[in-house]
Amino acid sequence: MLVTFLKSFFAIFGVMDPMGNTPVFLTLTEKLDNATKRSLAFKAVIRAGIVLLIFVFLGNLILDFFHISMQSFRIAGGIILILIGLQILFGFHFGSAEISADDISVVPLATPLIAGPGTITAAVIFSKEYGYIFIVLSILGNLFLSWLLFRYAHFVVKILGKSGTLMFMKFMSLILVAIGVEFIRSSFGS
């Protein structure tokens, strides 16, 4: 049981990337006061949790409704993870860099930063692979970790330093690419 939980926790951790999201959170909230930062961190985590839990429990129904097989969803999710990883790793951007939403706790913090396409894909796929209890606990654990890191973001960056934070982001982006490749590979069988 513990091994299954750890596998699911670290699978979600690799995709959600709470550590890698922390510098982004800092950048988006650098001009805000501490109380507002804390409020945005809490709202973003709660909203991301709602999105992820909806997909854990209804994701398969949504896929069935649109007649999408799990293999196709894995391939699509793998491609998305590879693109996100490459975007972070090499610094190029797919899509608009503009943020038009008034409340950054919804866009871009809750989604797509915390509950992005890769995390949603992983939640749907891993709920079948590891079971609902383990994936829900893994999501909640990673959301709590995200909240802690956002709440104490300045302290985390101070410990890691700019180069340490950048190195960790690059390493996690490589892990994302590898998870994406694994999604695609596993959809074709071993």
For residue range 75-117, what is the model confidence (pLDDT) as tens digits? 887 787 788 778 778 877 666 555 433 477 887 788 878 887 7
pLDDT for residue 167: 80
Q: What is the mean pLDDT of residues 13-28?
A: 82
Q: What is the mean pLDDT of residues 164-190?
A: 77
pLDDT for residue 81: 72
pLDDT for residue 107: 74
Q: N- to C-terminal Cα distance for the chain?
A: 24
What pLDDT digit, counting tens, does each position of 111-123 carry? Answer: 878 887 778 888 9
Q: How far is CA 109 from CA 27, 160, 164, in A?
A: 11, 22, 22
Q: What is the mean pLDDT of residues 143-167?
A: 85
pLDDT for residue 74: 76
Report the share of the chain in percent with pLDDT over 90.
Answer: 26
What pLDDT digit, counting tens, does each position of 31-58 carry? Answer: 788 888 899 999 999 999 999 999 999 9
| Angle formed at CA 47 by CA 45 and CA 52, multiple of 5 degrees | 90
Q: Look up residue 154 and give its amino acid.
A: H
Question: Over the chain, what is the mean pLDDT?
Answer: 83
pLDDT for residue 99: 47
Q: What is the mean pLDDT of residues 57-79?
A: 84
Q: Provide the CA 113 distance to its chain's centre, in angstroms.
A: 6
pLDDT for residue 100: 36
Is the pTM higher than 0.75?
Answer: no
Residue 143 pLDDT more than 90?
yes
Asked if 113 and 43 touch (Cβ cutoff 8 Å), the reply is: no
Q: Provide the CA 82 distance to its chain's centre, in angstroms.
A: 13
pLDDT for residue 45: 96
Q: Give the contacts of 163 (CB within 8 A, at least 6 positions apart).
A: none
DSSP string, 9-68: HHHHHHHH-HHHHHHHHHHHHTTS-HHHHHHHHHHHHHHHHHHHHHHHHHHHHHHHHTT-
